[in-house]
Structure 1
């Protein structure tokens, strides 16, 4: 009896696995290959960290983030020998010659905004090169992507997110 049941089971598996029907219609097209957004503040809206704004600036997202998004912030740090922009990942920390901390550029974000701020011993003494006329790129990407890329390297983030310079949204506020 057991042999007959085993025989029927094997025949049934062969019969059902060889069934084939017509190909179904194609599914809907997936989302485009972009997995993020990039914003840059442009002239005349450079950020200035002053006593009047408590050494803090805020960028409000045009669309609220979703739970799985993270924000990466990069500060324009000049150009390299080839004239290409250099983007420094935040947080950045600077030290006195004796090795003690002078100040840091940091940020926090919510679903609605990112707040970039100076943190230090005496913000008023921080060189103007780090306080005035600052340009930032704010990159929004999914958290799982951010976990798999070198976040300190702006170019790697852009390449991995399939974003190009032409997709950087220049913002005025």
Structure 2
């Protein structure tokens, strides 16, 4: 018990010595030079004038010249952060709607096809600057039919990190669910033709 009292007394003494009631305050330092104003950023997702989340349709052709890959670089109207989720869908087919209008059928990449030549994979990778969409196969890609390479349409959806960090979830395999979650309609989708 004497040891505990001795240790507690030592800490109390140290504490009292380190606290000065009538000590001298230090002088204020010099004000620094003001920095340069930065550019205004986009309004946040919670703002009333917040921009729509970005959904883009890109169309391109896979050839030997582009090494069976197409690249879409995000322009200044789209801010993609490193923490955002980028999803890419392939326009797989179209079905007849009850009103006579075609209904697009989209599939999330990567997407695998089993062909007579072997296995073909539509795949992608991205940064916050661009999206690369490319073909992978266990056979010579030069043997592919034009229907597998020419004028392929992909839908790129950028989910802001804020929308994916909460408890609510979205079925990312369904572009319809993703667009509904983001509040984007087909008329809002930007169209880009790649060379």
Is 2:121 the counterpart of 1:108?
no
- 164 and 34 in structure 1: CA distance in 2 versus 1, 3 angstrom threshold: farther
1:104-143 equivalences in 2 (<5 Å): 104-121=121-138, 122-143=140-161
Shift of 1:66: 1.1
Asked which structure has the greater CA Rg, the reply is 2
- Structure with more relative contact order (C-alpha pairs < 8 Å, separation 6 or more): 1
* Alpha-carbon distance between aligned partners in 2 of 1:47 and 1:93, rounded to the nearest angstrom: 19
TM-score by length of 2: 0.63
Shift of 1:95: 2.0
Structure 2 stretches lacking a partner, 5+ long: 1-45
Which moves more between the two structures, 130-139 or 75-84? 75-84
Is 2:107 the counterpart of 1:92?
no
* Alpha-carbon distance between aligned partners in 2 of 1:58 and 1:157, rounded to the nearest angstrom: 22
1:1-173 equivalences in 2 (<5 Å): 30-32=47-49, 36-41=53-58, 46-63=59-76, 64-82=79-97, 83-96=102-115, 102-121=119-138, 122-143=140-161, 145-146=163-164, 148-172=169-193
**Aligned pairs, number:** 139
Structure 1 stretches lacking a partner, 5+ long: 1-28
* Alpha-carbon distance between aligned partners in 2 of 1:95 and 1:33, rounded to the nearest angstrom: 43
Aligned to 1:23: none
**What's the Cα RMSD here?**
2.4
1:80 alignment partner, SS class: strand
String of CA shifts for 1:7-61, please: whole Å, max 9, x gaps.
xxxxxxxxxxxxxxxxxxxxxx8245766201113xxxx3111111100000000
* Alpha-carbon distance between aligned partners in 1 of 2:193 and 2:143, rounded to the nearest angstrom: 28
TM-score by length of 1: 0.71
- 145 and 91 in structure 1: CA distance in 2 versus 1, 3 angstrom threshold: farther
Q: Return structure 1 stretches of 4+ with deviation > 3 angstroms.
A: 31-35, 143-147
